[in-house]
Amino acid sequence: MGKRRRARRGPWLPLAVAAVLVAAFVFWRTARGVRRRATTKPPADSSLVLVTGYCNCGKCCGWRRSMLGFGEPVYDYGPMKGKPKKIGITASGKRAKKGTIAADPKRYKFGTHLQVPGYGIGTVEDIGGSIKGRHIDVWFPTHEAARRWGARWLKIRELR
């Protein structure tokens, strides 16, 4: 009888396992954040608004790079999925900067000036898919700064 050949395991197996673990961790962190934001119940005081932070990154603004992460930025989901995305440009056509606020256009029109405690004065120049009713997003230059801001129920003031 001849010798039995042992099947060789290539270096791809540990890499595949690592990729699956990383993907599972990223999914778990994202799903955890969505659940936390979705279960934030509004307080009884109807004058309070949920103020969250956002930046220009793909996690906050819903874009990704086409062509395996190396191509042009495109919308990741929604009615514009797959279409080119201009990073850092708001729905009003202006560049996002300190003081840019995303809000529900039914509640606050573009150009409305709001005073947000702890953030300062900003102008509504953007909208967002998950921003409805008593919810606004304030812009930060980095994702870490937006995460540090978190989600807060604040009494904001509309300036005339």
Is the residue at 88 inside a domain? yes
In a domain? residue 3: no
**Which residues constitute the domain of residue 59?**
13-40+47-159
In a domain, 54, yes or no: yes
Q: Which residue has the higher pLDDT, 30 or 56?
A: 56
Position 4 in a domain: no
Mean pLDDT is lowest, of 35-44, 83-92, 120-129, 138-147, for 35-44
- The one-letter amino acid code at 150 reads G
CATH code for the domain of 51: 2.40.40.10
* Structural domain includes residue 6: no
7 occurs within a structural domain = no
CA–CA gap between residue 9 and residue 1 (Å, rounded): 24
Mean pLDDT of 38-61: 77
pLDDT of residue 68: 75
Residue 119, number of CB atoms within 10 A of its CB: 21
d(CA 150, CA 124): 19
Instruction: Name the β-bridge partners of 102.
Output: 126, 137
- 2 assigned to some structural domain: no
Residue 64 lies inside a defined structural domain of this protein: yes
pLDDT for the residue numbered 36: 45
pTM: 0.68
With cut-offs at 50, 70 and 90, classify the pLDDT of residue 14: confident
pLDDT at residue number 16: 75
**Total structural domains in the chain?**
1
pLDDT over 70 at 34, yes or no: no
Once rounded to an integer, what is the mean pLDDT over residues 57-64?
A: 83
Give residue 123's pLDDT band: very low, low, confident or very high (50, 70, 90). very high
> Is the pLDDT assigned to residue 74 strictly greater than 60?
yes
pLDDT bin (cut points 50, 70, 90) of residue 43 is low
- Write out the two tokens for 61: 């603004």
Average pLDDT, the chain: 82
